[in-house]
């Protein structure tokens, strides 16, 4: 191919596109306009690709081309499809930006990228190219190791990783062909070449126990273990409570309280209590592990907890947010052991309204460690226990609170759960439906009450009601009109009779779902209704929780396994000291926590 001819054709392509600003032209239109002869067509094609590769022109969908639009760059998260193209989700922008595969510039799924917009075609969505990768979501990839006579490579498990990774002989950890491995990106400068990497772990042979589960964990960028440094930092944290400053901390060690958890639970982060007061009201206590006492802000453990944001529950294991020395030992509310807690007391009057409340750091000594089935047997009268009267009183209160919540507009989505039974090789041999018990509802209702009360507390102590103290909320926005219309059209197709509403509220949805209880379509309709809802997310803005029907809601009750809850505990302690000395960057800091936690729970 004549280099001179190629350069000339490139110049002519650029001239033509400059004369047609903002109007993408097809390959055929360009070749006709330039009078490309048949025997020069391969030079023309190569010239086009050279210009695309050098970012001098843009290749759109359907092989149309234009000059790059001169506009400001935008930052966002790239989401790739299995077909190879992707979309960049830019915060505060209504429309995602389409990225054709030739314009990915080595970016991978969920990378944070800088994207340059192209000129928008009339009636078409925004398009752009990846200008720069800001943050790699994944630095390690799970795949299968292959070896040929000349080179070795890893084929990624994830089809969205669209290139095999070349591995040099001295960087393969002596892996055998066919093994599952974890490979680290080392070099990928140009998307025309394959990336190079080094194997950092041999996961095992396909079919071996646990290999699939670990592979899945790594593929979602979930760290299966903690570094030696973090384990050392964790074990260096003292559990000696004799040095704890008790000023401002309630001593509740004589209070009757207990935990209720799954039978195989390893960490117990909440205990409950219930007492009848002299005025006839009931005082419910929810006592949560005081993780914030042990985990210092900006410590190594805190930074890792922020990165993970949540514990992840897989079929045969838990990937914890905190090292086990904290999650299963120091912070776990074990029976008959003193433990530091954060307590929320709620006094309920005869109308089930919270007439008074207290929120304070505390210390408890849990009387018992119950599991859900034990509590259910006690409630049903099938098991005698010294604490049975207290448990039955709790059951009555939780039932009344549930009924009131539904009357006030809370939606009850009864989504079925299952449990997998594995054999000794880690293979699933049985799927068992998980029966939802009254004991589950009891704990759930009490946690909802505490979370709501803590969020209301922030409203109460904020000096300006139109500008609340910086805080972290769990929000659930009202579903959009398009999704609701699809749901109602679905009901019509099923010939389900319903009364149209001028304004769709959570109470309206709850009453509609109640009307189809017991029908053969019940589970299907509930599933479609659930899919019509917005996702619940974390936010520094309080817009309420549509599904629960709450104006104020947060997450306070699980700091062992959720970073937002740990953040809420820290904020409560901060505001107990002063509501006036607030760092200038606090709201922005909470926004970052909300975004990270929402991203990681998905």
User: Hey, is 57 helix, strand or coil?
Assistant: coil
Range list of H helices, 290-437: 291-294, 300-308, 324, 372-379, 388-407
Tokens matching residue 467: 């500008």
Return the pLDDT at 123. 56
Q: Give per-residue pLDDT as tens, 460-495.
A: 999 887 789 999 999 999 988 888 888 888 988 888
Residues 213 and 190: beta-carbon distance below 8 Å: no
| CATH number for the domain running over 74-135 | 2.40.50.140
**DSSP-derived secondary structure for 404-461:** HHHHTT-------EEEEEE-TTS-EEEEEEEPPPHHHHHHHHHHHHHHHHHHHHHHHH
Residue 517 phi, psi dihedral angles, 5° rounding? -60, 135
Q: Rounded mean pLDDT of 179-190?
A: 91
Residues 458 and 279: beta-carbon distance below 8 Å: no
Return the pLDDT at 482. 85
CB atoms within 10 A of CB 18: 9
pLDDT class of 15 with cuts at 50, 70, 90: confident
Show me where the domains of the chain are located.
Answer: 3-66, 74-135, 140-221, 229-441, 465-601
| CATH number for the domain running over 3-66 | 1.10.10.10
Cα angle 47-53-55, degrees, rounded to a multiple of 5: 105
Is the whole model's pTM more than 0.85, yes or no?
no
Cβ within 8 Å of residue 100, ≥6 positions away: 59, 60, 61, 85, 127
Return the pLDDT at 95. 78
Range list of H helices, 428-585: 438-461, 481-493, 506-515, 522-532, 563-577
Q: Rounded to 5, what percent of the chain is helix, strand, coil?
A: 35, 25, 40
Q: Give per-residue pLDDT as tens, 100-114.
A: 888 899 999 989 999
Is pLDDT above 50 for 187? yes
Q: Give per-residue pLDDT as tens, 126-153.
A: 888 898 999 988 889 999 999 998 899 9
Residues 78 and 110: beta-carbon distance below 8 Å: yes
Q: What's the rounded Cα separation, in Å, for the pair 91 and 518?
A: 42
Q: Give per-residue pLDDT as tens, 85-103.
A: 999 988 777 778 999 888 8
Of 93-97, 218-222, 537-541, give the range with the top mean pLDDT: 537-541
Q: What's the rounded Cα separation, in Å, for the pair 273 and 253?
A: 12
Cβ within 8 Å of residue 384, ≥6 positions away: 378
Q: Give per-residue pLDDT as tens, 417-447.
A: 777 777 777 777 888 888 899 999 999 999 9
Return the pLDDT at 332. 97
pLDDT class of 549 with cuts at 50, 70, 90: very high
Is pLDDT above 90 for 315? no
Domains 74-135 and 140-221 share a fold: yes
Q: What's the rounded Cα separation, in Å, for the pair 288 and 253?
A: 14
- Return mean pLDDT, the chain: 90
Q: What's the rounded Cα separation, in Å, for the pair 384 and 295?
A: 40
Is pLDDT above 60 for 121? no
Return the pLDDT at 1. 46
- The angle that helices 372-379 and 388-407 make with each other, rounded to 10 degrees, is 90
Cβ within 8 Å of residue 310, ≥6 positions away: 321, 561, 562, 563, 597, 600, 601
Fold of 140-221: OB fold (Dihydrolipoamide Acetyltransferase, E2P) (2.40.50)
Q: Compute CA distances 26 → 152, 203, 360, 578, 600, whole Å.
A: 39, 47, 68, 64, 41
Lowest mean pLDDT among 396-410, 433-447, 507-521: 507-521
């Amino acid at each position: 191919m004549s280099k001179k001819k190629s350069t000339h054709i490139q110049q002519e392509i650029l001239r033509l596109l400059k004369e047609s600003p903002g109007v993408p032209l097809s390959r055929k239109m360009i070749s006709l306009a330039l009078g490309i002869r048949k025997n020069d067509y391969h030079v023309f094609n190569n010239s086009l690709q050279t210009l695309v590769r050098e970012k001098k022109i843009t290749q759109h969908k359907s092989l149309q081309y234009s000059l790059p639009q001169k506009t400001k760059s935008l930052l966002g998260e790239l989401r790739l499809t299995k077909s190879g193209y992707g979309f960049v989700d830019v915060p505060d922008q209504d429309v995602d930006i389409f990225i054709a595969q030739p314009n990915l510039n080595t970016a991978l799924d969920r990378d944070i990228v800088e994207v340059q917009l192209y000129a928008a075609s009339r009636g078409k969505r925004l398009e752009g190219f990846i200008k720069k990768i800001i943050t790699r979501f994944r630095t390690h990839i799970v795949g299968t190791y292959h070896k040929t006579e000349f080179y070795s490579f890893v084929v990624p498990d994830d089809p969205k990783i669209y290139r095999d990774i070349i591995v040099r002989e001295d960087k393969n950890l002596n892996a055998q062909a066919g093994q599952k491995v974890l490979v680290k990106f080392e070099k990928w400068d140009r998307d025309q070449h394959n990336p190079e990497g080094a194997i950092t772990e041999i996961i095992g042979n396909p079919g071996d126990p646990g290999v699939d589960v670990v592979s899945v964990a790594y593929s979602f960028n979930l760290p299966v273990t903690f570094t030696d440094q973090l384990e050392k930092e964790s074990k260096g944290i003292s559990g000696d409570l004799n040095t704890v400053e008790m000023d401002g901390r309630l001593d509740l060690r004589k209070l009757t309280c207990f935990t209720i958890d799954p039978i195989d639970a390893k960490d117990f982060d909440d205990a409950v209590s219930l007492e009848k007061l002299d005025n006839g009201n009931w005082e419910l206590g929810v006592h949560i592990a005081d993780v914030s006492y042990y985990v210092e802000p900006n410590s190594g453990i805190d930074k890792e907890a922020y990165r993970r944001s949540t514990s992840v529950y897989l079929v045969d294991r838990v990937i914890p947010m905190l090292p086990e020395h904290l999650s299963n030992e120091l912070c776990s509310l074990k029976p008959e052991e003193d433990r530091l807690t954060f307590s929320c007391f709620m006094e309920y009057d005869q109308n089930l309204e919270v007439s008074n409340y207290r929120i304070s750091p505390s210390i408890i000594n849990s009387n018992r460690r119950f599991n859900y089935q034990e509590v259910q047997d006690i409630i049903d009268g099938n098991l005698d226990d010294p604490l049975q009267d207290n448990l039955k009183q709790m059951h009555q209160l939780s039932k009344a609170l549930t009924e009131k919540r539904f009357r006030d507009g809370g939606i009850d989505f009864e989504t079925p759960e299952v449990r997998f039974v594995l054999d000794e090789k880690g293979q699933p041999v049985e799927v068992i439906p998980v029966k939802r018990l009254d004991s589950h509802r009891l704990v759930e209702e009490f946690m909802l009450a505490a979370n709501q009360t803590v969020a209301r507390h922030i409203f109460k102590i904020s000096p300006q009601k139109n500008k609340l103290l910086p805080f972290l909320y769990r929000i659930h926005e009202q579903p959009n009109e398009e999704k609701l219309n699809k749901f109602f059209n679905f009901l019509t197709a099923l010939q389900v009779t319903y009364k149209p509403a001028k304004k769709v509220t959570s109470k309206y949805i709850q009453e509609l779902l109640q009307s189809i209880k017991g029908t053969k379509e019940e589970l299907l309709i509930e599933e479609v209704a659930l899919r019509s809802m917005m996702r619940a997310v974390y936010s520094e803005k309080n817009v309420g929780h549509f599904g629960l029907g709450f104006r104020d809601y947060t997450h306070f009750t699980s700091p062992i396994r959720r970073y937002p809850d740990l953040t809420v505990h820290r904020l409560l302690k901060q505001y107990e000291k002063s509501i006036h000395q607030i760092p200038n960057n606090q709201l922005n800091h909470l926004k970052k926590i909300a975004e990270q936690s929402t991203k990681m729970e998905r």
